[in-house]
Structure 1
Amino acid sequence: MTRAFICGCAGLALSQEEKSFLREARPWGAILFKRNVASREQLSALTAEIRAALGTDAPILVDQEGGRVQRLGPPVWRAYPSAAAFERLGLPAEETAALVRLGARLIAHDLREVGIDVDCLPVLDTPVDGSHNIIGDRAYSRSPAEIARLGRAAAEGLLDGGVLPVIKHIPGHGRARADSHLELPVVEASRAELEAQDFIPFRADADLPLGMTAHVVYRAIDPELPGTLSKAVIEEIIRGLIGFDGLLMTDDLSMKALSGGFRARAEGAIAAGCDVVLHCNGDLAEARAVAEGAGDLVGRALERARAAKAKAPKEFDPVDGARQLDAALAAGV
């Protein structure tokens, strides 16, 4: 039976120890980073190797946003603009959305070509004055309504290309004044403020298939636990108020916003209501503990996982698409 976790791997190919771990631990999927990427041929071989070890057509994820967060990049792949770059072009709203969708469609083409079928995009966080730059230009706008609209366009571009989108970081990382990779952010905003701004993009796009939590404490909802580990945040806000009923994964459990052992982190996230836990750094000792804490993928979580299946890509000319995107970006410089 599949276990309710997603794991990373250490390098450009799987070691024998990693192959054994994948066969025994049976993660739902795997996630890749720059350390796993060298060429199209190498990356295609790695994704095939992961699926062969698992014995299933397992989902393989990556963070391919554009801008600062791009795991597949030059000189092999094109450099995509940041999310914020689209709004800065100053185009009419419909043209901006069309370009965002086109950019995501091109990303999907790149990913499907090498066996990747899930992209941790779009970022639906809303930055505010004084917040940490960890989100910054990864956000499409400072307007929640515009973030919702452009995030939807990005998701549609990925879906058209046969790649599943992941909305992140639900219910919102944009107000955080710290980088959750390094420490635990605490948001002091009232629930009314959060509902009036931060939650809006997630509510608008709550029908999308996959979501990723935020390692952020929201004092007005749960004064102690970060969203990833908080039943109040997940049940009352994410599943309730926001209405997200897709597969909910954690942000990376190895981030320093969380504390305690890795089995306990995984157990806490599953107990709080996450469907799947994410462990990214490829450390097998940690990954084994995460696998033990995550347990089997069962019940409603399994149903959501089965529902999150990428469809075949729609017909698309990537050369013409790249020409259109480049022309629009050049005109806006």
Structure 2
Amino acid sequence: MSESKAMILGASGTTLTADEKAFYRDERPWGFIVFARNVAEVEQMRDLTAAMRDCVGRPDAPVFVDQEGGRVQRLRPPLAPAYPSGSALGALYKSNREAGLRAAWLMSRLHAFDLLKCGLNADCLPVLDVPVEGAHDVIGSRAYGKDPETVTEMGREAMAGLQAGGVLPVIKHMPGHGRAFADSHHNLPTVDASLDELRAHDFAPFKALRDAPMAMTAHVVYTAIDPDNPATTSAKVVEDIIRGEIGFEGLLMSDDVSMNALSGDFAHRTAGIVAAGCDVVLHCNGVMDEMRAVVGRVPALSGEALARADRALTGLGRRDDQAEAAFREEFAAWFEAVA
């Protein structure tokens, strides 16, 4: 079998076009990602994800989704319930720590039930960013709280719930998006906090969960570390902070290469991500011309990056044998709207 390339790609619609099938077969992405534009109903999702895997000849190929709850939830009713936000879970934690932790685990375990029914096996969750007062709302209610302890404890349970359901978790956005005063989808945020402040506040949850199988980078400049490049394209941030100080040894994927926080054309952006030390490049929107530019600068997945990718996939399919209905009933005791 041909080796995979170090990238995760999206698709344009609810079924694969002939051009997409040929492109994926030729270029062999390691994984795929879906968004709301790709989602219609359960059977269609099963067919779509099966077609993606068939193109690359790997039945275990990861297919990712951003299924957090709150405003970031690609599967919505009737495919999946409308789940509460991270901040709603955090509010429960503040009033009842044990209940909050259990709810974080349960919601992720329920995500796993929802995702696997649709052929999805990887979730870009938990969000480990710790917002500060006045920061842009791009994180906002997605965060479990505004202190590292809450975010760490809740994030650990959220990650464990996905893993108990056989779904691959991705912690994000490393090494911390909570201080950003701009939305990196549209502009490049710059954070001027000192390294000591970043260590105490922003890095702490990522360091505590550094055993996660995968992480996603932040398109954020940290002037105390590298004033010239966002984390995604900064070898100093990746090597010294993410791999060094935080101690993360899992598979490191970029945030979306098409976000406007990054500069230059797609070939330039992709080359910068690879040179910085990210293992896998993420391109989300399914635009063929952009994908063609990306794949031209993406290497084959090999060496330590391939070893990390293989390790990340070892948890897929290892799930408990618990009953879904019992978990839904328990979760509804705190969040009745989900029942």
- TM-score interval, smaller chain: over 0.9
For 1:201-280, list aligned pairs within 5 A: 201-280=205-284
In the alignment, residue 29 of structure 2 is paired with which amino acid? P
Paired residue type of 1:259: S
Please name the residue that 2:326 is paired with.
320
The alpha carbon displacement at 1:91 in A equals 3.7
CA distance in 1, matches of 2:294, 2:303: 19
Per the normalisation by structure 2, the TM-score is 0.96
CA-CA distance at 1:21 after TM superposition: 0.4
- 1:75 alignment counterpart: 78
Once the two structures are superposed, residues 113-164 of structure 1 have per-residue CA deviations (whole angstroms, 9 ceiling, x without a partner) of 1111110000000000110000001001111011011000000000000001
**Cα-Cα RMSD:** 1.0
Cα deviation digits, residues 201-234 of structure 1 (max 9, x gap) = 0000000100000000000000010000000100
Alpha-carbon displacement from aligned partner over 1:72-117 (angstroms, at most 9, x marks no partner): 0013320111011012234421221111100100001110111111
Match of 1:142 in 2: 146
Query: Structure 2 CA distance, aligned partners of 1:126 and 1:266?
Result: 28
Letter in 2 for 1:6: I
How much has 1:312 moved relative to structure 2? Answer: 2.3
Residue 191 (structure 1) shift: 0.6
Aligned letter for 1:27?
Answer: P
* Structure 1 unmatched ranges of 5 or more: none
Shift of 1:262: 0.9
After TM superposition, the score normalised by the length of structure 1 is: 0.98
CA contact under 8 A between 1:249 and 1:276: conserved in structure 2?
A: yes
Q: In 2, distance between residues paired with 1:280 and 1:330? A: 33
- Opposite residue 114 of structure 2, the aligned amino acid is D
AA matched with 1:39: E
1:101–1:157 Cα contact (<8 Å) kept: yes
Q: Is the 8 A contact 1:141 1:147 kept in 2?
A: yes
- Give the aligned partner of residue 34 of structure 2: 32
CA distance in 2, matches of 1:277, 1:170: 15
**Alpha-carbon distance between aligned partners in 2 of 1:133 and 1:295, rounded to the nearest angstrom:** 35
Q: Secondary structure at the match of 1:152?
A: helix
Tell me the matched-pair count. 331
Structure 1 CA distance, aligned partners of 2:78 and 2:320? 27
Q: In structure 1, what is the Cα distance between the partners aligned to 2:169 and 2:333? A: 26
% identical aligned pairs: 53
Cα distance, 1:71 vs. partner?
Answer: 0.2
